[in-house]
Amino acid sequence: MDKAKNKSYIKLMTAARDLFSEKWYETVSVVEICRRARLSNGVFYRYFKNKEDIFFKLLNEIVIYYEEGFSTISGKSFEDRMDKFLDTIVKSGVGDYKKDILIYREGQYRYPKYEQHLRDLYGKGVSLVLLRETSQAEQLFISGIARFVIIRYIFNGVSYDKTKIKKIITDGIFYNEIKNYSLIFDDENVIYPHILKGESARSKLLSSGIELFGTKGYYKTDIHDITRNAGYSVGTFYLYFESKEAFLEEIVKIIGKKTRRFLTINQKKQLNRAENELRGIYLFLKYFESNSEYYKIVRESEFIVKKAANDYYDRFEKGYVENLERTKIEDKKLLANSLMGISHYTGIDRIFLKRIKDIKSVLKELSIYLTHGIRI
């Protein structure tokens, strides 16, 4: 590739990186990429087959970043190796890499093979930190905490304490022992709340939206589909919602409220706080397996209505902070996000990637790390 061609390729990649990190994939066009790069469509097609092709090349760049970053993990002490592991994740969320992470978050949802690959890389990174083969539960505990906390804190402009993250990983979170597995995994008398009730037009429209967004996806569903499915006119839709985006935001709020309510009412008074945490992860997975459309909607909302998706996690964080007790560090916000990270990535492994067959065995092993941390 000569210098002129190389410059054009870089301009197109830079323009695509900017646009895909600013906007949702479906709303970006080849024409817009070319306009941003100040190049013709013809030049674009010299290097890329289509929009998906340039998107794949951007995704591959972040894969290479993690491959190189985790492959260099070394050091005489656990502290040194863990610092390099965490620093690789931190660097991925700052500067130009922050754009790549924004793109990758959508890419891993749209193309599961990329999340599968990244999940494998994290597993190798954890093994290099511990200098041994590691189990699925160990990888979920360490990488779930590190990935979720660091990226969430960076994107929200909140400072985090790397020393505390390492302490959570090595010491665990709770003082309570987790023993009562028969109650933790009790499936009898599980109550499913019904918050979205009523025969009002608004309720019927929201029910229609949940059904269609969960099956067809947001982009492939238009307002005509939603209203026709609910038995109303498009005009009725605009009596209640100013836009399709506002409609999705309301649905995400409803899903969050129903999920939090489900987890709350199905806790067991006989269990201690640590045991109820493990039960919460188990119930979380059961709930989204039973309501797969909710899972799809929340994941997709992260790229379309980012503020609503962030509010979804903020409300979960608040609930954790209010209820955490007998913990090994005082930073409840950090602990809340650590626990959310474990649930989030266990959910991805179980529901999205289908990597966990025996969820009870994985959760039993996770219970050891929740109270005792990782053996080093």
Q: What is the mean pLDDT of residues 357-364?
A: 97
**Res 15 pLDDT > 50:** yes
> What is the C-alpha separation between 189 and 84, in angstroms, rounded?
46
Q: Which residues pair with 51 in a beta bridge?
A: none
**Among the listed ranges 193-197, 314-318, 335-339, which one has the minimum average pLDDT value?**
193-197
pLDDT of residue 284: 95
CATH topology of domain 3-134: Tetracycline Repressor; domain 2 (1.10.357)
pLDDT in tens, 25-45: 999 999 999 999 999 999 999
Question: What residues does each domain of the chain span?
Answer: 3-134, 181-372
pLDDT in tens, 184-228: 999 988 998 775 566 799 999 999 999 999 999 999 999 999 999
pTM of the model: 0.92
Q: What is the mean pLDDT of residues 163-169?
A: 96
The structure tokens listed for 136 are 């699925």
The structure tokens listed for 213 are 């967004």
**Res 60 pLDDT > 60:** yes
The CA-to-CA distance between both ends of the chain, in Å, stands at 48
pLDDT in tens, 66-120: 999 999 999 999 999 999 999 999 888 777 788 888 899 899 889 999 999 999 9
The total of other beta-carbon atoms located within 10 Å of residue 113's CB is 11
Residue type, 265: I
pLDDT of residue 197: 60
pLDDT of residue 151: 87
Rounded to 10 degrees, the C-alpha dihedral 192/195/199/204 comes to -90
pLDDT of residue 193: 79
The CATH superfamily label for domain 181-372 reads Tetracycline Repressor, domain 2 (1.10.357.10)
* Secondary structure element (H or E) that encloses residue 94, with its range: none
**Res 260 pLDDT > 60:** yes
Residue type, 251: I
Q: What is the mean pLDDT of residues 2-10?
A: 75
The structure tokens listed for 192 are 């499913």
**Res 5 pLDDT > 60:** no
pLDDT of residue 198: 63
pLDDT of residue 196: 57
> What is the C-alpha separation between 7 and 268, in angstroms, rounded?
62
Average pLDDT for the chain: 93
pLDDT of residue 1: 41
The structure tokens listed for 337 are 């996000």
- The string of DSSP codes covering 154-219 is HHTT----HHHHHHHHHH-SBSS----HHHHT--TT------S-SSSHHHHHHHHHHHHHHHT-ST
> If you search the block for the tokens 């999205």, which residue do you land on?
352
Q: What is the mean pLDDT of residues 264-278?
A: 95
Q: What percent of the chain has pLDDT over 70?
A: 98
> Taking a C-beta distance cutoff of 8 angstroms, is the pair 282, 184 a contact?
yes
**Res 4 pLDDT > 60:** no
The structure tokens listed for 319 are 């609930």
pLDDT of residue 303: 87
Q: Cα angle at 53 between 52 and 59, to 5 degrees?
A: 85
pLDDT of residue 205: 96
pLDDT of residue 30: 98
* Secondary structure element (H or E) that encloses residue 136, with its range: helix 136-155
Domains 3-134 and 181-372 fall in the same CATH topology? yes
3: pLDDT confidence band, cut at 50, 70 and 90?
Answer: very low
